[in-house]
Amino acid sequence: MKNCLECEKTINGRSDKKFCNDSCRNSFNNRQNTASNIYVRNVNTLLRKNRKILQNLLPESGKTSISEKTLKVLGFNFEYFTHVYETKNGNTYKFCYEFGYLNIDKGVLMLVKKS
């Protein structure tokens, strides 16, 4: 006789069955996945927050300049971005999905949207 991996009740049915019902299977898998994905979920939350801040500050024209301090006050975290784009002339843009920024002067950033 086998016992359910979640509630440890005796399992009836197929010999390879691991759970007594769908509820136990879901609970077991949710608990397993939650523990292993906490870091990824936290990083994705930070990236989405950064993206939303950039999106809200960027005008329809697609470019603007803003102080680094302003972004920090709004909760922007400069340690998290999705990718880096380096231009031929050596400028390095950091992007949060399609919204990015370039350090153009000490403490001044240019915000852009990738087209």
Encode pLDDT of 72-114 as tens digits.
Answer: 999 999 999 999 999 999 999 999 999 999 999 999 999 999 8
CA angle 81-102-96, nearest 5°?
25
| Mean pLDDT along residues 52-62 | 91
Model confidence at 115: pLDDT above 80: no
The pLDDT score that the predictor gives to residue 60 is 83
Using a 10 angstrom Cβ sphere, with 0-12 exposed, 13-18 middle and 19 or more buried, the burial of residue 27 is: middle
The pLDDT score that the predictor gives to residue 113 is 94
| Mean pLDDT along residues 47-65 | 93
The pLDDT score that the predictor gives to residue 62 is 81
The pLDDT score that the predictor gives to residue 53 is 97
